[in-house]
Amino acid sequence: MNVQDALAVESLRQATVVAGERGLEHEVRWAHVIDMPDPVPWVRPGQLLLTTGFAWPKSAADQRAQIAALAKAGLAAMALAVPRYLEHFPHVAKDEADRHGLPLLEIPFEVPFAQITEELHRAIIAEQYRVIERSEEIHRELTLAATRGSNLRELARTLGELIWRSVTFEDPDGKLLAYYASGDEDDAVRAETLQKERSPASMIEAMEAKGLMAQIRSNSGPSR
C-alpha cells in the first residue's frame, strides 16, 4: 500500500495533501502516533507519522531540519491534525517537504488517530494476505507446469499469464533462454533482448554496478 492508496481509507478521505505530492507512491508499512520535540529516533522507514503538532518546532531552521531528517529516515508521509495546535503546516515546512518529496497531509482534528491506525493496519494486513495468496497461486501453477514436463517457453508463458506481464528467462550471463510477450508493455530493452537473444550490454553493466548481477549469480533462489 502506498500513500495514495492510504488516502482511500474512510478515516483519511478528508485528508488534504498540502506538500510533497511526488512522494505519494511511498510505501506505507505502518502508522505511528508521535507528539514529541524530536520524533526522528522513533521513526522507521515506511511509517505514516500522525501528529497533533503540539510539539512542532518553533523556528524555521528547526522545522526545515526536522522535515529533512524525517525524509532521510524513510518516513512515508506525515499527517497533521488541524487546527487545534496548528492551523496548517507552516510554509517553510511545506517548501522543505516539496524539496524532499515527503508528503504532508492535513486531517480534521475531530478524526480520531485510533480510527486511522486501525483502518490502515487492517488494510495493510489485508493487502499482505492477498499478496501471500497470489504468491501461493503462482507457485502452485508453476509447480504443476514443471511436473507436466513443460519446457522453459511454456513455463515463461504460464508465469506471464499469471502475473499479466512479459517474462524472459536468461542464464547468468544474460543469454536469452525463453520468453513470453504479453503484447502490451514490451519496452526498448526487452525488444532488444528478444532481437539479439541476450540482455543489452548497457543493462548488464548497470546491474553489475548496482551489485545485482553478483547477487543473482550467488543466489539460487528469488532475488528482489
H-assigned helices in the chain = 3-6, 60-72, 91-100, 113-147, 152-163, 188-196, 201-209, 212-218
Q: Which residue has the higher pLDDT, 220 or 94?
A: 94
Output the pLDDT for position 176. Answer: 86
Q: Which residue has the higher pLDDT, 42 or 220?
A: 42
Q: Where in the chain is the domain with CATH 3.40.1390.20?
A: 3-116
Question: Would you say 77 and 106 are in contact if contact means Cβ atoms under 8 Å apart?
Answer: no
Tell me how far apart the alpha carbons of residues 133 and 4 are, in angstroms, rounded to a whole number: 23
Tell me how far apart the alpha carbons of residues 139 and 35 are, in angstroms, rounded to a whole number: 44
Asked which of 12-16, 84-88, 125-129, 184-188 is least confident by mean pLDDT, the reply is 184-188
- pLDDT above 90: percentage of residues in the chain: 56
Asked which of 59-73, 150-164, 185-199 is least confident by mean pLDDT, the reply is 185-199
Question: Which residues, including other chains, have CB under 8 Å from residue 91's CB and lie 6 or more apart?
Answer: none
Directed axis angle between helix 152-163 and helix 113-147, to 10°? 160
The whole model's pTM is what?
Answer: 0.70
Top-level class of domain 3-116: alpha beta
